[in-house]
Chain A
Amino acid sequence: MDFSVAFNAARESLPYMLGGVGWTAGLIIGAMLLGLTLGVPLAVTQVYGPRPLRRMVAVYVWLFRGIPILVQLYIFYFGLLAWLSSLPGLTGIGLDSPFTAAVASLGLTSSAYQSQIFRGAIQSLPAGQLKAARALGMTDAQAIRSIILPQALRLAIPAWSNEYSILLKDSALAFTIGVVEIMARMRSIASTTHEPVSMSFVAGIIFFALTWIGVKGLTLLENKVRIAGYTRQGAV
């Protein structure tokens, strides 16, 4: 392998590869947020909900953790979302786009994992916190909102940032249904330039940089919301 040829190929590919960053970022942000929005209520239900609902959450978690993302991508893209977008009123709003299908499968899978992160954090809080809130006359909903979740979410940030780096890598699977993110671009440019090694090197660096930025950002967030003298109790 001629090093300078490889290097030039890599340099020339950079703008095109970086064009995938927007798609990758969109996938992760969409999936993290979908996972958060579903994961928190799932966790609360699993800890405080009535037994039948707790069971349903357990089944949900088990299901999404059990089905590979690759399989889900196909189910959502070729099956579920294709069918949904054929329904009257749901056509033409992008439900059948590869991006939507990828965010759905990555986000739902992440919601299953995130719910377990939050559940662990909630359960690590001393039982006295909820008791004290109830003793003051708070409803359970008030206690969960003002007392339990503010503490649990803080405790969950380190595990949450771990979930971010996992999602970032999972998002590379979205190329299989045609999202033109970093991985998809790497494959196409590698086949046209016949420089698979240097292209994978570039992709690797971009993924690594995105991981670093995200994890760094979440560490900053963790420090920003840290409470004086409040140490994590090995929650997560």
Chain B
Amino acid sequence: MSEATPILEARSLVKILGGNRVLENVSLDIGRGRVKVLIGPSGAGKSTLLQCLNFLIPPDSGHILLEGREVEKTSKRELCAFRQQVGMIFQDFNLFDHLSALENVRVALMKVKGMSKLEATERAVAELKRVGLADKATLYPANLSGGQKQRVAIARALAMDPKVMLLDEPTSALDPELIGEVLTVIRDLAQAGMTMILATHQISFSASLADEFIFMERGRIVEQGSPADLLARGAQSRTQAFCSKISELTGESGQSGQSGESGQSGESGQSGESGKAGAERRL
């Protein structure tokens, strides 16, 4: 990762919300084509961190750099230009409810990128095809399943040609049987070289994908390293302790709808092959 300037870099982010130090001096960076996974207990500050990275929540102090250039957050113009280059996927999709799937993907292409309707439509159709929803283009969000909504949201973000994608627990709001279709899209993206920061509880899936795990707790980055190192048997890492707790919890419910194999081996998720196998089963 040292070979080039990071695509996105955060330096010493601090965020105080309601008197709580929700982010306590958080720094991270991510290089082109890398995938970093944020894990940690609920309330750790993952969502706040991701939203600080594109100023949806303005950090109280700290700096954000895109390809080595600091984002001047006081300039609204620069902020909008910056956000175009940073795709964001939300836990609860946030599709525009009054627009069809196609219009959801198209609206920012026309309003923000100034594309003609024809051009924008072509691009939107291509992006919907990429997430396997070409045939749902005319449907409104209320008539899409959760998994389909999240895939439309991904298509909407991809259409802007982002340099990096931030994904905040993209499958947490989904019924178990719908998680797989979204994970497939995310894995395809990673394989196509998209740079991503992903907050998730899907440990085995993300272990197969991530270059780095970042473990957060109480607004701080507590551990970071390759999934293989952090999850290795006997690693004694906080990450491993947390992940085995999750897999105990999800071992029954999370895997029950799957192929019927015991979830434990895949979920406690060593790394590499067994992690991948776990991911395959989910899909």
Contacts and interface: CB of A to CB of B under 8 A. Distances in A.
Contacts of A230: 97-98, 140-142
A65 B82 CA distance: 43
Interface string B56-97: 100000000000000000001000111110111010111111
Interface in A129-164: 129, 131-139, 142, 146-147, 150-151, 154
Contact of A229 (B95, B96, B142): B142
A135 B82 CA distance: 9
Nearest to B143: A229
Nearest to B92: A128
Given A138-B112, A230-B140, A131 B84 contact: no
A228 interface: yes
A133 B98 CA distance: 13
Contact of A227 (B51, B82, B142, B156): B142
A134 B111 CA distance: 12
Contacts of A128: 90, 92-94
Interface string B91-114: 011111110000000011001100
Interface of A is mostly: helix
B142 A129 contact: no
B202 interface: no
B52 interface: no
A126 interface: yes
B270 interface: no
B54 interface: yes
Nearest to A229: B142
Given A128-B94, A230-B97, A134 B83 contact: yes
A30 B14 CA distance: 52
A146 B90 contact: no
Given A142-B111, A151-B98, A227-B98, A134 B143 contact: no
Contacts of B160: 136-137
Interface residues of B, number: 33
Contact of B112 (A132, A142, A229, A231): A142
Contacts of B82: 137
A70 B83 CA distance: 52
A131 B157 CA distance: 13
Contacts of B111: 138, 142, 146
B139 to A, nearest CB: 8
Contacts of A151: 96-98
Given A228-B143, A229-B140, A230-B140, A136 B108 contact: yes
B220 to A, nearest CB: 25
A131 B108 CA distance: 13
A145 B141 CA distance: 20
A112 to B, nearest CB: 27
B97 A129 contact: yes
Given A139-B80, A142-B112, A151-B98, A131 B56 contact: yes
A135 B76 contact: no
A138 B92 contact: no
A183 to B, nearest CB: 40
Given A135-B54, A137-B80, A137-B81, A126 B112 contact: no
Contacts of B81: 137
Interface core residue of B54, B87, B98, B108 (most chain A CB under 10 Å):
B98
Contacts of A129: 94, 96-97
Contacts of A154: 98
Contacts of B108: 133, 136-138
Contacts of B93: 128
Contacts of B86: 135
Contacts of B153: 132
Given A229-B140, A231-B142, 12 more contacts: A131-B90, A131-B94, A133-B96, A135-B87, A136-B112, A137-B80, A139-B76, A147-B98, A147-B107, A154-B98, A227-B98, A230-B141
29 contacts: A128-B92, A129-B94, A131-B51, A131-B94, A132-B96, A132-B153, A133-B96, A133-B108, A135-B83, A135-B86, A135-B87, A136-B107, A136-B108, A136-B112, A137-B81, A137-B84, A137-B108, A138-B111, A139-B76, A142-B111, A147-B107, A151-B96, A151-B98, A227-B97, A227-B140, A228-B140, A229-B140, A230-B140, A231-B142
